[in-house]
Amino acid sequence: MKIFYGWWVLLGLFLIYAANNGILMYTLPLFYPELIDEFGWSSAEVTRPAALFYVVAAVLTPFIGALFDRYSTRLIMLLGIVALIAALCFYPAITSLHQLTAIYIVFALGLAACGLVPNMLILTRWFKRNRGLAMGLLLTGSTVGGAVFPLVARETLITQGWRQAVLMIAILGSVMMVGAVLLLVRNRPQELGLNVDGDASPAEAEHAAVTVSAGPTLRQAVQMPVFYILAFVTGALWFATVSMLQHQSIFIGKDLGVDAARLPLIFSLFFWCAIIGKLLLGWLSDKLNKLWVMFSTVLSLILGLALLRLVSADNIFMLYAYAVVFGMGFGGTFSMIQQVLADYFAGASYGKILALMTAIDSLAGAAGIRYLGAVRDAQGSYLSAFDLLIILCAVSAVLIVVLIHRSRNAILA
């Protein structure tokens, strides 16, 4: 039986997403303690370029997103990949914070062109009936990258230093992304004479297209109360998770004194557990109410942060417990955010709505990064910042219960 080519497209998107997210968001923070030691930067300074990265990405995403409807999405992705590769190759040569900042601005441009939005857009063109499964597999890609790339960089980081480690993962990431976009990814099934989901007849594909066209427009979406509830919930969760992803290496490596050999192992455990969280909770979301599943992932984030709040240098077991619990919560939360947004807003305008939500979440993530850095520099500790993250997650959990109550009333009505 011939395999539907959409699955090969999904493999290509998976490799691209695993490389760009796995390196930029999940592996480069591993080197922050090394940058602090070499250049004498503070925690706020070393994470400032990453915060700017999220702001620039938030601004660029809606504008670049509009280009996907007019030009080849695959071509725009290729240009974004080239930009990422160029910036990664310059990364080992940095000697100043200004240079690092410039590199992260290029990262933002590249990721806006080849990150979540174009990947999701191409995926929705190829899949309808199997979209939930395809989406879950794609979103797992970023976490797989976060689990694999720190291990790939570990030995080189220990023996040759951070510059060679960055160069090595840049080469591996370049091969993955360029090979995938050229050999596997295609814009639409119609380019190969195929239909959505591999349906045999155009009529079936046309029926799927009509189904996809249902859903609110962007103007209608921003007039819905649920849009603002979800914007706060997802923004708060991005504030918490993105800030932790950028600062946990500093807290673990500098404040707790965990050495450079063990730090990549903790990072890898974190992301392997995030993979489990995405797959397990994604499976549960097909069996149970998605909002209740999302509620459980937020509780996992709260518990993980509470564990980290109690970690001490002589209690490494608690640190591994944090990696497991918060990792599963992080993976499940990110996956459930995408599924809940699709449930509420899927339709002809979903790409625009997703781009706007992604921009809001990116700004929230940038604010979280800056906040944690400012707190540590001012107080010499992250602990009070961790308390705010716990509060934000708790408020998000309450709002999710509100959405559950609203949806139940709508069904009864």
pLDDT, tens digit (0-9, with 9 covering 90-100), for 246-271: 888 888 888 888 877 788 888 888 88
Average the pLDDT over 213-239 and give the result.
88
What is the residue-averaged pLDDT of the chain? Answer: 86
pLDDT-derived band at 413, boundaries 50, 70, 90:
very low
Which pLDDT value is given to residue 114? 92
The number of beta carbons lying within 10 Å of the beta carbon of residue 180 is: 23
- At 312-321, the pLDDT tens digits run 767 778 888 9
Q: Answer whether residue 229 shows pLDDT above 70.
A: yes
Contacts of 349 (CB under 8 A, 6+ apart): 215, 216, 217, 218, 221
Q: Answer whether residue 12 shows pLDDT above 80.
A: yes
Residues in the chain: 413
pLDDT-derived band at 392, boundaries 50, 70, 90:
very high
- At 95-132, the pLDDT tens digits run 999 999 999 999 999 999 998 888 988 988 888 777 76
Pairwise CA distance, residues 45 & 245, whole Å = 16
Which pLDDT value is given to residue 133? 75
pLDDT-derived band at 202, boundaries 50, 70, 90:
low
Pairwise CA distance, residues 359 & 354, whole Å = 8
Of 253, 250, 274, 270, the residue nearest 262 (C-alpha): 253
Q: Answer whether residue 411 shows pLDDT above 90.
A: no
Containing 331, the helix (H) or strand (E) segment is: helix 316-345
Contacts of 41 (CB under 8 A, 6+ apart): 35, 97
pLDDT-derived band at 180, boundaries 50, 70, 90:
very high
Q: How does 43-71 read in b/e, with b if 16+ C-beta sit within 10 Å?
A: bbbbbbbbbbbbbbbbebbeebbeebeee
Average the pLDDT over 266-293 and give the result.
82
